[in-house]
A and B are shown apart, each in its own frame.
Chain A
């Protein structure tokens, strides 16, 4: 009798009965990423795959969230575990390169039918590392300059125009430096692309430790620029100050911008501008660990997640991200209004010419540290 209870307790504690399958999805990033899997994608997948249960685990925002996934997989690899705990992982760019290099991922993109729907550079190259075949972009996100159309009449088109505008309108431009979130980091990276020498090399490599010496002038100008701007507390801090009319212009994440505007936390007269030569954006990647227990299901899950319907309804309409797969495959899957909302201010052509990647990892660190040394201190 007692052992029967114990068995019952163990079954209850371990959750699913042995016959059902569980698909474990680990995702780095903010809470909205976990919500997306748990509330939107998971239930949809369970419906089309009876008996399968999708379990979503969040590992935390930023690169440190991807770092945790990396540590778990590499520990299981080192211990020679036959089947690893995660079936699908959602990771940032910097870590995707390392994971592919250390053979922690499976080459699956060619096996799924949506694999051919993405031709963008980011599906092959992740901050300088070759990830071809190992990843599918879940979405692309982009930074841009948000401005209040009532307060800004002569909207700058380029970084030099923006610098001139900020000088003419002191304390009307605001960004969050480099310690308060990625929108500020993206603005600074864009500044170095614009005013440093050879921006292309920073995005493509090869790495040369001497390159950073060429940024002195750009960074001295940035220090000068900073005298006329407001340093805001964080990504949300910039949006807050735009909302309250305390600044008229500042760099933001496009998806956050639209989500805030939908929630009524930003006035409708706010607009976006992608200034030349361009600002960075980044994708999040779907990947399958090399020894995933449910590799087959994982592939089916990602195929669903990157199908034009889900990309249209989930990624674009619900969460205001740019699609992970090429945009032309979404045509006809969305109301015109939903589609245009995403491209009202920034056209697909803008995005193609001025949506840049972040610098490759070693240059990325050099930019941050040079900023700390020459601009902040």
Chain B
């Protein structure tokens, strides 16, 4: 008994050591740097972070939450079609297509959006060519809208992947019962399917939230820097001033925000385990 327990400990030790060395140590280090000034405990770095970047913190939350909501809507639409669609070829095409953005790195997505969403970019030029808008009506989407569009485009497939999987493993008889009793597909989706996969959707959204919080390339490439997301401010703090403490304070603020999301995630998964 004790021997097998030792063996088990031995087996997880390398993984634990890796977590400790590559995550816990830097985390502790950045916490210490954020909360101390000249060797004494201090909130000065947080004061500076709020003084300089309060708008950016709110802006980051706004972008990330809005992206989350739109990602959820897109994912529900795609996963719902995959589950309840009745045109086999359309479902097959959608199934083949929707995952593609998953394989595109954020920086490449940012690069593409930069020319796609510009005022005289590919999107507007196509609209003008199709006669949908007049050239003078074209506006640039390279601001917060561009960041949100890029995030939704990148994250919707990820959330859809988890959501469609959960929907596929549902007991189909509940769906068929609803259909037999005359419920439309939309009603079946919102009243029968979605409530059953809600925990999965929330978990997927939390993971997506944490990912978008940490992206540096997209806000840097797609939009100008006023206001901008916290990741850009952290990079600027270090590159322009070599100021690690304030960058760390900003980091701690984003840990706190993602920590809230993680707490939500853990609560969900514990609840699910209890239910199972």
Which residues of A are at the interface with B, using a C-beta cutoff of 8 A?
Answer: 62-64, 176-180, 226, 230-234, 237, 240-241, 244-246, 365, 368-369, 372-373, 375-377
- The interface residues of chain A lying within 8 Å CB-to-CB of B54 are 377
Q: With A234-B221, A246-B140, A377-B53 given, is the CB distance from A240 to B226 under 8 Å?
A: no
A contact residues around B222 at 8 Å (CB)? 233
A230 to chain B: which residues have CB within 8 Å?
A: 140, 224
Partner of A178, one of B53, B56, B120, B225: B225
- CB-CB under 8 A from A365, the residues of chain B are 240-241
Contacts of A232 in B (CB 8 A): 224
Q: Which residues of A contact B52 (CB under 8 A)?
A: 369, 372-373, 376-377
B236 part of interface (Cβ distance < 8 Å): yes
Instruction: State which size class the interface on B falls in.
Output: 20 to 34
Choose from A178, A233, A237, A376 the contact partner of B227 (Cβ within 8 Å). Answer: A376
Is the Cβ of A240 less than 8 Å from the Cβ of B224?
A: no
Q: Chain B residue with minimal CB distance to A230?
A: B224
- Chain B residues within 8 Å of A, Cβ to Cβ: 51-56, 114-115, 118-121, 140, 142, 220-228, 232-233, 236, 239-241
In the complex formed, the residue of B with least CB distance to A364 is B240
Residue of B with least CB distance to A238: B224
Task: Point out the residues of chain A lying under 8 angstroms from B225, CB to CB.
Answer: 176-180, 231, 233, 376
| Chief secondary structure at chain B's binding surface | helix
Are A246 and B120 in touch, CB under 8 angstroms?
A: yes
> 9 pairs across A/B with beta carbons < 8 Å?
A63-B239, A64-B239, A179-B232, A179-B236, A237-B114, A241-B118, A365-B240, A365-B241, A375-B226
Minimum CB–CB distance from A234 to chain B (whole Å) comes to: 7
A368: chain B residues at CB < 8 Å are 240-241
**Whole-angstrom distance from the CB of A365 to the nearest CB of chain B?**
6
The smallest beta-carbon distance between B147 and chain A, in angstroms, is: 11
Best-buried of B52, B236, B240 by chain A (most CB within 10 Å) = B240
The CA of A62 and the CA of B54, in the complex, are separated in Å by: 27
Chain A residues, Cβ within 8 Å of B236: 178-179
Q: Is the CB of B232 within 8 A of A240?
A: no
In the complex, what residues of A have CB within 8 A of residue B226's CB?
177, 226, 231, 375-376
* A178, A179, A368: most-surrounded residue (chain B CB, <10 A): A179
Which chain A residue shows the least CB distance to B54? A377
- Indicate whether A377 sits within 8 Å of B55 (C-beta atoms), given known contacts A240-B114, A246-B118: yes
Are the C-beta atoms of B224 and A231 separated by less than 8 Å? yes
Known: A376-B55, A377-B51. 6 other contacts (CB 8 A): A64-B239, A176-B225, A179-B225, A233-B221, A245-B120, A373-B52
Instruction: Output the least CB separation between A252 and chain B (Å).
Output: 15
